[in-house]
Structure 1
Amino acid sequence: MAAPIRMTSTTRSVLETLRAAASRDAPTYGLEISRETGLGPGTVYPILRRMERNGLVRAYWEDDTPDSHGPRRRMYKLTGEGLALTEEKQRPRPALQPGWVS
C-alpha cells in the first residue's frame, strides 16, 4: 500500500479542484488543474501521481479522435474514496470542550 497523503494546502487545492470537476461530472486534466489552482505543473503532477497510487484518483488517456487538436491529455477523476475524503474534509470539526485533561 502506498504511503498516506499529507494534506498540505497544495494537496487540498488540487483535491478541491477535482471535487469541483466531479460535481460537474466531468474529468479534468493536469494543466487545467494547474491553471485553476495557480500551482505549477511541477507541483500538481506529483500530487496527482500520489493520489492515483493511493486510489483517490483514476487517471486515463483521453480518446484520440480525428477532430482533436494537439496531443492526448491524461484525464483525472476522483474515485469514490477520493470523493469521500473531500466530503470528510468539508465537515465542520467539533469544537473542543474546555475542561481538565488528565
Structure 2
Amino acid sequence: MIAEIRLTVPVVRVLAALVDDPAGEHYGMTLMQASGLPSGTLYPILARLKEAGWVEKRWEEIDPAAAGRPARAYYRLTAAALPTARQRLAELHEQTRPAPAGTAAKEATA
C-alpha cells in the first residue's frame, strides 16, 4: 500500500523522471540530472517516497575496490505507485495547462 504524499514542485520533478522510465532503475546522479535538483533536495525526497511506499531502493552488488567507486543505490517506482503517480501527474498537467486562446478574455467580460 502506498501512502498519500504532498506533491511539491521538486517531488513532481522526481516523480516525472521516474515515470518517464518506470521499469528502469535510476541512481542519484541520473535523477539529479533528469529533475534538475541538487543532491540535498533529491535524497530527502527519495527517502520520503520510499517511506510512503512509492519507491523501492536497492544497493548495487559490486566490490567498491575493484570498481573504483562506491556501490550505487538504485531507485524505482513500485508497481503499486506507478498508476497513482501517472494519474497525479496528469491531473497536475491538466490543472496547469494554459486556457485556450480567448477563454480568459471571455471570462473577464462576463
User: Normalising to structure 2: TM-score of the pair?
Assistant: 0.71
Aligned to 1:31: 29
Aligned to 1:97: none
If each structure's helix is expressed as a fraction of its own residues, which one has the higher value?
Answer: 2
Percent of aligned pairs with the same amino acid? 32
Aligned to 1:41: 39
Aligned to 1:77: 76
Q: Which amino acid aligns with 1:7?
A: L
Number of aligned residue pairs: give it: 91
- 1:9 shift after superposition: 0.9
Q: Which amino acid aligns with 2:13?
A: S
Q: Which amino acid aligns with 1:78?
A: L
Q: CA RMSD in A?
A: 2.4
- 1:36 shift after superposition: 1.3
Aligned partners of 2:21 and 2:67: how far apart in 1? 21
| Structure 1 residue ranges without an equivalent (≥5) | 94-102
Larger CA Rg, structure 1 vs 2: 2
The list of structure 1 runs, each at least 4 consecutive aligned residues, that deviate by more than 3 angstroms after superposition, is: 65-69
